[in-house]
C-alpha cells in the first residue's frame, strides 16, 4: 500500500519579475514563474540559465592548492615518474579516475596505473594496501580522487615510503587537513573557490582544466572528457546549478553525440535512444551498472584477465577498443544483474523482519542488522526501506570482524547529526545530512540501536514523517501545448537545485475506461486521462508503483494528479507523457 502523501503548492514567484521575464523572453507565465521560484529573477539570469556557456566556468586556480597540484604533476611528467590515479569504487570515484587517467594518457604520459580499493578488504578511501602497492610498483605520485580529505595518517604513511599525494575531494574535511603536496577540496574552510558543490570527478576535472590552461591546451581538447563528468554529476546527485549545470549541459552533448567506447557499450546494453540520453537515464540505467562493479565482491585483479570489482568499471571507462569495451560492458552488466538479485532478496528479508516485529514498525526510525547481508548493497536496501516506511533508516551487516552499514534519511532530518551523537560507539563514520556510512564493534550494536532511535524520537518533527510532494504550479491539460513542452525542455538538465517541475491538475478522468495495469507484476498503471474543462484535452500518462487506484480510475471516477511532463520515445515516435507522482481520489460532488 503506497504511503499517503501531502501536497504542498509552492508560493508563486514575484509577479513583477515574472512579468519582466515574460515580456523579454516570450515564454509562458507558468514557466517564467518557475524561473523566479528558482532564484532566476532577472532577464539576464534567465538568458544565462537557458544558454549555459563554457566561458562562464570558474578559473580553476581560484581553488586553494591548485598551483601546487599543477606544479607537482608537471614535475612528475618531466621526470617520467610513475603516477597512480586512485579513486573510490562508486560512480563518482571511477569516472574521476578514468577522466584523469585518460587526460594524462592524452598528453603523452604513459608511465601510469590506476587503482580502486576493494570495498570488502580495504573499505572506503585511501588504504595502506593501496599505498604499499604504489610503493612496490615504483609510484612516486598518487592522485587521489573522490576520497582522501580525512586520510591524514595514510598520507603520512605514504610519505615514509617516498610516495607523494595530490588529493582531489569534495567531502567535508575534518579539523586537520592531510599533509599532501596539494589538497584540492572546495569545502575546505580556507578555500575561497566560488562553488563548493562539485562532484569528486568535478574536482578532478578542474585539475585537468588548470593543467591544460597552464600549457595552452585548448579547452576543445579536453571537452571530450565531459561525458564521464556528467555521469558523475548525475549519479552523485550534486546540485545541478552554477558550474555543475554548465558541465552537465555540455557533458550530455558529448554523451549523446560521441560517447567514449566504454560508455557507449553501456548505452547499447541499456538500449537507450542514442540521441536523447537524459540525466534520468544516467541515474537509473548507466550509473547503477557502473556502481554495481564496486558493490560486488572481487578477487585480486589480474590486469591481463577479465577485471572485476571497481577496477572493472575503470577498465571499461578507459577502454579505447570497441570490441574490448563491449566485452567489459557485458561483465559490468552481469555484475548489475547479480546486484539486483541480491538487493531484492535482502530487501525482502528486511521487510519481512520489520513486519514480524510490531515494536520496530511503531518507531520513528529503523535500525536493522543481519551479519550475513552483503556489505555492498546495504545502502540500496536502506533506500528501499524508506520507500515503504519513510523514516531515517540504518542497515547494518558484518565485514572483517566489524559491523558496518549505511544510513539514509528523509527530507528535513539531519542524519549525520544523529549518527554523530553516537560517535563514541563508532570506529569511524562519515557522510552528510541525508546519507552516511559507519563502522562499529559488534558489541556496540545494541546500544547504538537504542541511542540512535532515542535521538530520532527526540529530534524529528512528526510532520516530516509524512512524505511531501512539492508542487510548482497548478496547470490545465490544455496548457500543455507543443510550444510549452519545448520551452520546458530548455530547463534541462534536471537534478537537485533544478528539479523537474511538478504540476498538479484537478478533476481528470479515464474517459474511455481503458486504464491498464502493466509491468512484470502489474505494479504500474498506464492510462489516458482527460480534463473535460473546455477545451477538452486528453494526455497519455504512466503511474509507477500505484496500482491501488486502478478500479476507481477505470470506472471513470475523477482523480487529482500531480506529475512531471516527459517525452516518451518509442519506435521512432515521440509523444508527450505525464509521469504521475501521486494520485488522490476526487470525492467532491
- Which of the pair, 387 or 458, is modelled with greater confidence? 458
Model confidence band, residue 565 (pLDDT cutoffs 50, 70, 90): very high
Q: 3-state SS string over 441-452?
A: CHHHHHHHHHHH
499 pLDDT exceeds 70? yes
The rounded distance, in Å, linking the Cα atoms of 533 and 559 is 14
Q: What is the pLDDT of residue 571?
A: 67
* Residue of 160, 157, 156, 155 whose CA lies nearest to 144: 155
Does 3.10.310.30 match the CATH number of domain 357-465? yes
Helix (H), strand (E) at residue 71: helix 66-78
Model confidence band, residue 291 (pLDDT cutoffs 50, 70, 90): confident
The listed CATH number (3.30.360.10, 3.90.1640.30, 3.40.50.300, 3.20.20.70) that belongs to domain 56-337: 3.90.1640.30
The model's pLDDT over 512-521, given as tens digits with 9 standing for 90+, comes to: 889 999 988 8
Q: Residue 439 — left, alpha, or beta (φ > 0 → left; ψ -120 to 50 → alpha)?
A: beta
Q: Where are the domains of the chain?
A: 6-11+468-585, 56-337, 357-465
Model confidence band, residue 37 (pLDDT cutoffs 50, 70, 90): very high
* Residue of 560, 139, 123, 308 whose CA lies nearest to 131: 139
Model confidence band, residue 319 (pLDDT cutoffs 50, 70, 90): very high
Chain-wide mean pLDDT for the chain?
91
Does 2.40.50.460 match the CATH number of domain 6-11+468-585? yes
Q: What is the pLDDT of residue 435?
A: 85
The model's pLDDT over 327-368, given as tens digits with 9 standing for 90+, comes to: 888 888 887 787 788 888 999 999 999 999 999 888 999 999
Q: What is the pLDDT of residue 303?
A: 44
Q: What is the pLDDT of residue 3?
A: 64
Model confidence band, residue 307 (pLDDT cutoffs 50, 70, 90): very low
For 456-506, give the DSSP string: HHHH--GGGGS-EEEE-EE--GGG--HHHHHHHHTTPSPBTTBPPP-EEEE
By CB atoms closer than 10 A (0-12, 13-18, 19+), residue 220 is: exposed
The rounded distance, in Å, linking the Cα atoms of 141 and 113 is 11
Structure pTM? Answer: 0.87
74 pLDDT exceeds 90? yes
Q: What is the pLDDT of residue 589?
A: 54
Model confidence band, residue 407 (pLDDT cutoffs 50, 70, 90): very high
Taking residues 373-388, what's their average pLDDT? 89
The rounded distance, in Å, linking the Cα atoms of 435 and 20 is 40
Q: What is the pLDDT of residue 433?
A: 81
The model's pLDDT over 246-268, given as tens digits with 9 standing for 90+, comes to: 999 999 999 999 999 999 999 99
Amino acid at each position: 500500500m503506497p504511503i499517503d502523501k501531502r501536497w504542498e503548492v509552492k508560493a508563486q514567484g514575484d509577479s513583477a519579475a515574472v512579468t519582466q521575464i515574460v515580456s523579454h523572453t516570450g515564454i509562458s507565465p507558468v514557466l517564467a514563474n518557475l524561473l523566479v521560484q528558482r532564484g532566476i529573477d532577472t532577464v539576464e539570469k534567465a538568458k544565462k540559465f537557458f544558454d549555459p556557456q563554457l566561458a562562464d566556468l570558474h578559473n580553476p586556480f581560484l581553488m586553494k592548492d591548485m598551483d601546487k597540484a599543477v606544479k607537482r604533476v608537471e614535475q612528475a611528467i618531466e621526470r617520467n615518474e610513475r603516477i597512480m590515479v586512485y579513486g573510490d569504487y562508486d560512480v563518482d570515484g571511477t569516472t574521476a579516475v578514468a577522466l584523469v587517467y585518460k587526460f594524462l594518457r592524452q598528453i603523452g604520459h604513459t608511465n601510469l596505473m590506476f587503482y580502486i580499493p576493494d570495498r570488502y578488504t580495504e573499505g572506503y578511501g585511501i588504504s595502506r594496501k593501496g599505498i604499499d602497492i604504489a610503493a612496490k610498483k615504483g609510484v612516486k605520485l598518487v592522485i587521489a580522487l573522490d576520497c582522501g580529505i580525512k586520510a591524514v595518517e595514510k598520507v603520512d604513511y605514504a610519505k615514509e615510503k617516498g610516495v607523494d599525494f595530490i588529493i582531489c575531494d569534495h567531502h567535508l574535511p575534518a579539523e586537520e587537513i592531510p599533509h599532501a603536496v596539494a589538497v584540492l577540496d572546495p569545502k575546505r574552510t580556507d578555500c575561497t573557490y566560488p562553488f563548493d558543490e562539485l562532484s569528486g570527478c568535478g574536482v578532478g576535472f578542474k585539475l585537468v582544466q588548470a593543467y591544460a590552461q597552464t600549457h595552452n591546451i585548448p579547452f576543445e581538447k579536453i571537452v571530450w572528457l565531459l561525458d564521464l563528468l556528467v555521469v558523475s554529476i548525475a549519479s552523485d546527485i550534486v546540485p545541478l546549478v552554477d558550474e555543475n549545470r554548465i558541465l552537465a549541459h555540455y557533458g550530455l552533448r558529448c554523451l549523446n553525440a560521441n560517447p567514449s567506447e566504454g560508455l557507449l557499450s553501456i548505452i547499447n546494453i541499456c538500449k537507450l535512444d542514442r540521441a536523447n540520453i537524459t540525466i534520468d537515464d544516467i541515474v537509473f540505467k548507466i550509473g547503477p551498472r557502473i556502481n554495481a562493479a564496486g558493490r560486488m565482491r572481487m578477487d585480486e585483479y589480474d590486469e591481463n584477465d577479465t577485471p572485476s570489482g571497481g577496477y572493472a568499471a575503470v577498465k571499461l571507462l578507459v577502454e579505447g577498443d570497441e570490441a574490448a569495451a563491449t566485452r567489459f560492458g557485458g561483465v559490468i552488466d552481469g555484475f548489475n544483474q547479480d546486484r539486483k538479485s541480491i538487493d531484492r532478496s535482502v530487501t525482502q528479508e528486511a521487510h519481512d523482519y520489520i513486519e514480524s516485529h510490531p515494536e520496530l514498525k511503531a518507531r520513528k526510525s529503523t535500525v536493522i542488522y543481519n551479519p550475513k547481508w552483503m556489505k555492498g548493497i546495504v545502502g540500496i536496501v536502506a533506500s528501499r526501506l524508506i520507500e515503504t516506511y519513510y523514516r531515517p533508516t540504518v542497515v547494518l551487516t558484518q565485514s572483517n570482524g566489524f559491523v558496518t552499514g549505511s544510513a539514509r534519511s528523509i527530507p528535513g532530518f539531519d542524519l549525520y547529526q544523529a549518527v554523530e551523537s553516537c560517535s563514541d560507539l563508532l570506529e569511524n563514520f562519515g557522510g552528510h545530512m541525508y546519507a552516511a556510512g559507519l563502522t562499529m564493534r559488534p558489541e556496540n550494536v545494541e546500544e547504538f540501536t537504542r541511542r540512535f532511535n532515542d535521538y530520532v524520537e527526540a529530534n524529528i518533527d512528526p510532520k516530516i514523517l509524512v512524505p511531501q510532494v512539492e508542487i510548482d504550479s497548478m496547470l490545465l491539460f490544455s496548457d500543455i501545448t507543443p510550444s510549452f513542452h519545448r520551452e520546458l525542455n530548455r530547463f534541462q538538465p534536471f537534478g537537485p537545485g533544478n528539479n523537474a517541475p511538478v504540476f498538479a491538475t484537478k478533476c481528470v478522468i479515464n474517459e474511455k475506461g481503458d486504464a491498464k495495469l502493466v509491468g512484470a507484476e502489474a505494479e504500474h498503471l498506464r492510462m489516458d486521462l482527460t480534463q473535460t474543462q473546455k477545451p477538452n484535452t486528453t494526455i497519455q500518462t504512466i503511474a509507477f508503483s500505484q496500482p491501488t487506484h486502478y478500479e476507481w480510475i477505470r470506472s471513470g471516477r475523477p482523480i487529482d494528479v500531480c506529475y512531471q511532463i516527459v517525452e516518451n520515445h518509442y519506435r521512432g515516435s515521440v509523444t508527450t507523457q505525464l509521469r504521475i507522482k501521486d494520485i488522490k481520489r476526487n470525492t467532491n460532488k
